[in-house]
Structure 1
Amino acid sequence: MNRIKQIKVENLFFILATIFIFSFMFVFPINRVPDETNHARMTWETLHKPTEKSFKWMNEIPSNDKVKLAEYKQIFAQKIDMSKEPFHFGVSLKSISFIPQLIGMTIGSWISPTVGMIIYMGRIFNALAYILGIYFLIRYFKYGKTALMFISLLPIMVQQASSLSYDVMNYLEVMLALGFITNLAYSKRFTNRNLIQVIGLAILLLATKPNNILVLGLIPFVPFKFEGALAFLNRPMQAVKAFISKFKGVFYLLFILGVVAVLQFLMKNQGGLHHYGDVLRNTLFNPELNDNLNGILSLGMFGYLGNLTLQMPLWLIFIDIMVLTLLFLSSKKDFFTKDFANASWILFLLEILAAITVMYIQWTPLVLGKGANISVGSQGRYFTPFIILLLPLVANMANIDLSRHKRLKIATVTLVANFLVAMYLILFHYWGVFA
């Protein structure tokens, strides 16, 4: 543990992530992570045309809680007839989310065209993308490096990184955008190169989940000066900021009215705003009506594992929240303005609102029928990437001077505890170990 005094955060992450993610990968049975076969299908269909004789990823892989070893071995023994999987180049913008898995699954099909080999190779490449991506993002971030490491190694993120989930690319893209924005706050300048980067980030964010584009709404709240060809914007930008600062109450009122107008448009065929208000209240505040509120939706941000069956102990979740709060409070914050901190936590709430609203419109009618009184389908893991948006708000609540060594030590001990408990739950639940 004393070696933590000298180790860099990104190197510590690399070590822990490699141990955690590859351990999860090999103890988590195939198709026991939410939507894994759906992600396998979506990845496979990028290069293979689906036919009536194609391998049915959604139907032909068991998902029972207790793994039957003999049955499970068949996944690695029975080969797919590749002649029934015709090549078809169907790459689109959405395919960006599946590039690591696609590379791995393709190589796996060359090595041995069995479901086990194909999926595990896809898992390995997805894991490598996550580990290397976060490693370089930690180096890129100018603030909250330990907090980023901690969030990235929570059980829910370790699970997703060890599977075929496109949450990996989604998480990397959101963190890249947040790193870019906070680095702008640190440098206090916006160059021609930054404009090109913003366009690229917008494309990446839209490629995964459209609501991710909201993250770029933080840029106007960053105090910077334009340089190069954009320098002519400095004077009008200052004028706009001065106007908003003078009439801040009016600005927030217009913002709220804008959100209400968008919701009114989205919900005009779903019962209107009054009904939507009831849905939102029931979904977020009434566990009697929404029995997924405390588990999948809330605790899911930290660790609701397996096919939504393994809940991490609540006492450990409380410890995670306390440690994360401590990491936030001890983070560097001298380059954050009050407006940026407020915009960050408001954006966190907007991301939750957006996910619940989209799920109510697209998924809830399929499950509960039209006009349901709650929104279903949202999972806490959708919000995990945005937890770091709370850092500026929490960091400015108090000033805790905690040495780098102590921060890393506390974070490491807590993450190892999470890992060991999660491994016990997986081995006990799926493989019957310790039973």
Structure 2
Amino acid sequence: MSDLFASAEPAPQPRNPDAPRPLADRLRPARLDEVVGQEHLTGPDGALTRLLRSKSLGSLIFWGPPGTGKTTVARLLADQTDLHFEQISAIFSGVPDLRKVFEAARRRRQGGQGTLLFVDEIHRFNRAQLDAFLPVMEDGTVTLVGATTENPSFELNAALLSRARVLLFRSLDDAAVAKLLARAEALTGQALPLDEEARGVLVRMADGDGRAALTLSEEVWRSARPGETLDAETLQEIVQRRAPIYDKAQEGHYNLISALHKTVRGSDPDAALYYLCRMLDGGEDRLFIARRLVRMAVEDIGLADPQALVVATAAKDAFDFLGSPEGELALAQVTVYLACAPKSNAVYEAYKAATRVAKAAGSLPPPRTILNAPTKLMKRMGYGEGYRYDHDEPDAFSGQDYWPERLGRQHFYAPTERGMESRYRDRLAHWERLRKERRDED
């Protein structure tokens, strides 16, 4: 293990000022108010500013995407509260390592100094490892600051969350990234060799990640020839592209499929295409997307456009046949089709209502009228007696009662007036009138 976990604290090594350092490290803020993009936390009325003003920090969980300042802010909090800053990563440490860190913090506390323990990627710890923090948080041995890119509600246990305050770090907006680039230019004494359009592209390529923005800037400075000004196309050739922030097994996966579903339901084909392309660009399983599009066809469109299910299933088959990337156009086509289709969840609601009644009513037998009578005994018992063959009736409709006697007639499906369902609505109303007439005649 690294010396970071040694029981005896090593003497700090002086930093060589001439040693090469990444631009992101050279631009690391020295004060809390220098942190960009997190004014809701670090501004004059920000949550962290208020905590420092009250002189009661407490344990914290920093939740947000990469490159938004979580580590930097933790260091600054330690500086401003005179706490020893200790940093570990959940990826490289286990319970034995934690014990060494806790023991060092206890000795430090006996000497009159507290410890701010910063745990990067804290969501990587398992339940037993997370439980190990509870006693030292409660007795004040450490002030825990955990950083995570994943939703703490899903990834951290309730006991730890009950002892810590969750603070949300936001992805840097374009203005915050632009401010970082301006600082980098001031520090280096040279302007980025980019035209206005290329500068905007660089900001967007950073994807809200300040560290990435500065890394991309360094790459631009290294690549540009003296006196050269890069346009957007040349910039993209030089720096290629950042991988999108998208974890198919975590929250990004669920957020984007939720966004795709709701924009289809909301009949916005442009927004739906945007989220589809975000998922495709992030490497999402194409068949997962196809399955969800089929689900949207039956849940949100239903019989308002019965062709929606046909089109969605055909798109899945087209992707199976063509593969990627050609087959992705079929997914785009069905996304637009579903978003533009008339919407109805009438069948979905009817299905849920019928399921509730089926479970609650028990095993009621159907009326004997509509049961087959393959044996003489069953015929003598009245199976099939009085059944009227609908095709032989006027309007091919007999109006018979098909419901279990103890249950009575129920109504689940209420078609809307949108799309094809308007026809079903009229047809069902017509049959209901005929059913009443048949009953009156009987």
Bigger proportion of residues as strand = 2
Q: State TM-score, norm by structure 1.
A: 0.21
Q: Which has the larger radius of gyration?
A: 2
Bigger proportion of residues as helix = 1
